[in-house]
Amino acid sequence: MPANAVLLKLDLSVLPAGAHVQSATLQLYQTTAGGDATYDVSVHKIINFDPDLYQTNGYTYDGINDWTANNFCYNSIPLAQADIGPATDINSLDQNSGYKQWNITTIVQNWINDASSNYGLMLNSDSLASADSYRFFASSEASNDTQRPCILIEYTLN
């Protein structure tokens, strides 16, 4: 059962109106790994609620209001599992440090077409991994700025 998840929000305001996304790649720097030799991490579009990243937790999306109840996770903690779309991409991660990538082209194009639906992304933990398996990533506040998350977007204009 998933016991951890990562929420990310993307500011796409720098992209021009009418952009047609050719490719969008999420890159996260894996800093630490343990447990299984490979660990599947899926990326999902968040739906239903717009989380406040400074207040959200496994129970609430804003520190007050609950994620949709479900029984998919450890101890029935909702962990937003009923508030995400299907996996857009799944990456089988090894234990080596370095950048790992996910294709998020469809999600980014959807957000360009309807900016009001941009509630962010979730990276979901491997539901089949053995106990004590994990992958950690550098955050946007990482002291080493070469390890911070990155989104690579290629687009054309009509």
- The whole-number pLDDT of residue 1 equals 64
- The whole-number pLDDT of residue 110 equals 94
Give the residue-averaged pLDDT of 136-146: 94
Share of the chain above pLDDT 70, in %: 98
Higher pLDDT, 73 or 18: 18
- The whole-number pLDDT of residue 128 equals 87
pLDDT 10s digits, 25-65: 999 999 999 999 999 999 999 999 999 999 999 999 999 99
**Which sign, positive or negative, has the C-alpha torsion 65, 69, 75, 77?**
negative
**Does position 2 have pLDDT exceeding 90, yes or no?**
no
Residue matched to tokens 């990538």: 101
Helix (H) or strand (E) holding 32: strand 19-34
pLDDT band at 119 (very low <50, low <70, confident <90, very high): very high
**Do 45 and 121 meet the contact criterion of CB atoms below 8 Å apart?**
yes
**Does position 86 have pLDDT exceeding 90, yes or no?**
yes
pLDDT band at 94 (very low <50, low <70, confident <90, very high): very high
The model's pTM: 0.92
Give the Cα separation of 31 and 138 in Å (integer): 6
**Do 25 and 104 meet the contact criterion of CB atoms below 8 Å apart?**
yes
Give the residue-averaged pLDDT of 140-158: 94
b/e sequence 100-138, b meaning 16+ C-beta within 10 Å: bebbbbebbbbbbeeeeebbbbbbbbbeebeeebebebb
